[in-house]
Protein backbone atom coordinates (compact mmCIF):
# COMPACT_ATOMS: atom_id res chain seq x y z
CA UNK A 1 0.00 0.00 0.00
CA UNK A 2 2.94 2.32 0.62
CA UNK A 3 3.78 2.51 -3.09
CA UNK A 4 0.10 2.84 -3.95
CA UNK A 5 -0.17 5.85 -1.68
CA UNK A 6 2.77 7.52 -3.44
CA UNK A 7 1.10 6.98 -6.80
CA UNK A 8 -2.19 8.34 -5.44
CA UNK A 9 -0.37 11.46 -4.27
CA UNK A 10 1.17 11.81 -7.72
CA UNK A 11 -2.25 11.40 -9.37
CA UNK A 12 -3.69 14.03 -7.04
CA UNK A 13 -0.86 16.45 -7.87
CA UNK A 14 -1.50 15.98 -11.60
CA UNK A 15 -5.18 16.70 -11.07
CA UNK A 16 -4.35 19.89 -9.16
CA UNK A 17 -2.04 21.07 -11.94
CA UNK A 18 -4.61 20.33 -14.63
CA UNK A 19 -7.30 22.24 -12.76
CA UNK A 20 -4.92 25.16 -12.30
CA UNK A 21 -4.06 25.21 -16.01
CA UNK A 22 -7.69 25.32 -17.16
CA UNK A 23 -8.90 28.06 -14.80
CA UNK A 24 -9.27 30.57 -17.65
CA UNK A 25 -11.93 28.42 -19.27
CA UNK A 26 -12.67 26.50 -22.41
CA UNK A 27 -12.03 29.22 -24.98
CA UNK A 28 -8.57 30.03 -23.64
CA UNK A 29 -7.77 26.33 -23.43
CA UNK A 30 -8.80 25.73 -27.06
CA UNK A 31 -6.72 28.69 -28.27
CA UNK A 32 -3.61 28.06 -26.17
CA UNK A 33 -1.42 25.24 -27.49
CA UNK A 34 0.97 25.51 -24.55
CA UNK A 35 -1.87 24.97 -22.06
CA UNK A 36 -3.13 22.04 -24.11
CA UNK A 37 0.35 20.51 -24.06
CA UNK A 38 0.65 20.98 -20.30
CA UNK A 39 -2.76 19.44 -19.67
CA UNK A 40 -2.14 16.48 -21.98
CA UNK A 41 1.24 15.87 -20.38
CA UNK A 42 -0.31 15.80 -16.91
CA UNK A 43 -3.08 13.50 -18.13
CA UNK A 44 -0.40 11.18 -19.50
CA UNK A 45 1.51 11.28 -16.22
CA UNK A 46 -1.67 10.70 -14.24
CA UNK A 47 -2.56 7.72 -16.41
CA UNK A 48 0.96 6.31 -16.14
CA UNK A 49 0.72 6.54 -12.35
CA UNK A 50 -2.55 4.60 -12.38
CA UNK A 51 -0.84 1.84 -14.35
CA UNK A 52 1.70 1.52 -11.54
CA UNK A 53 -0.91 1.03 -8.82
CA UNK A 54 -1.08 -2.54 -7.59
CA UNK A 55 -3.72 -4.79 -9.12
CA UNK A 56 -4.95 -5.51 -5.60
CA UNK A 57 -5.53 -1.81 -4.99
CA UNK A 58 -7.30 -1.29 -8.31
CA UNK A 59 -9.55 -4.30 -7.80
CA UNK A 60 -10.43 -2.94 -4.35
CA UNK A 61 -11.69 0.27 -5.99
CA UNK A 62 -13.89 -0.72 -8.94
CA UNK A 63 -15.70 2.63 -8.71
CA UNK A 64 -12.75 4.12 -10.61
CA UNK A 65 -12.54 3.44 -14.35
CA UNK A 66 -8.92 2.26 -14.39
CA UNK A 67 -9.17 0.83 -17.90
CA UNK A 68 -10.63 4.09 -19.22
CA UNK A 69 -7.72 6.02 -17.76
CA UNK A 70 -5.24 3.57 -19.27
CA UNK A 71 -7.05 3.84 -22.60
CA UNK A 72 -6.57 7.60 -22.63
CA UNK A 73 -2.88 7.15 -21.92
CA UNK A 74 -2.53 4.81 -24.89
CA UNK A 75 -4.23 7.31 -27.21
CA UNK A 76 -2.21 10.23 -25.84
CA UNK A 77 1.11 8.44 -26.15
CA UNK A 78 0.60 6.62 -29.43
CA UNK A 79 -1.66 9.02 -31.34
CA UNK A 80 -0.60 12.42 -30.03
CA UNK A 81 -1.29 14.19 -33.33
CA UNK A 82 -4.82 12.86 -33.31
CA UNK A 83 -5.76 14.33 -29.94
CA UNK A 84 -8.77 16.63 -30.20
CA UNK A 85 -8.65 19.67 -27.86
CA UNK A 86 -12.43 19.51 -27.44
CA UNK A 87 -12.18 15.89 -26.34
CA UNK A 88 -9.44 16.82 -23.89
CA UNK A 89 -11.60 19.65 -22.57
CA UNK A 90 -14.44 17.19 -22.00
CA UNK A 91 -12.11 14.96 -20.03
CA UNK A 92 -10.78 17.76 -17.83
CA UNK A 93 -14.23 19.25 -17.35
CA UNK A 94 -16.04 16.02 -16.41
CA UNK A 95 -13.71 13.08 -15.81
CA UNK A 96 -10.90 14.79 -13.92
CA UNK A 97 -13.18 16.32 -11.24
CA UNK A 98 -14.95 12.96 -10.92
CA UNK A 99 -11.61 11.20 -10.46
CA UNK A 100 -10.57 13.81 -7.89
CA UNK A 101 -13.72 13.09 -5.84
CA UNK A 102 -12.88 9.39 -5.85
CA UNK A 103 -9.14 9.72 -5.22
CA UNK A 104 -9.23 12.33 -2.44
CA UNK A 105 -10.82 10.07 0.21
CA UNK A 106 -8.26 7.37 -0.58
CA UNK A 107 -5.49 9.75 0.51
CA UNK A 108 -6.85 10.04 4.05
Which residues are known to be catalytic?
73, 78
Q: Which of 19, 3, 15, 9 is nearest to 107 (CA)?
A: 9
Chain-centroid distance of CA 9 in Å reads: 12
> Which residues are CB-contacts of 100 (< 8 A; sequence separation ≥ 6)?
12, 15, 19
- CB–CB of 4/85 below 8 Å? no
Q: Which of 28, 31, 30, 73 is nearest to 51 (CA)?
A: 73
Amino acid sequence: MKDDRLYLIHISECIERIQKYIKKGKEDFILDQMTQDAVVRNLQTLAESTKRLSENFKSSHPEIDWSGIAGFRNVAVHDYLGIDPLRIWGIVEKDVPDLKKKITPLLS
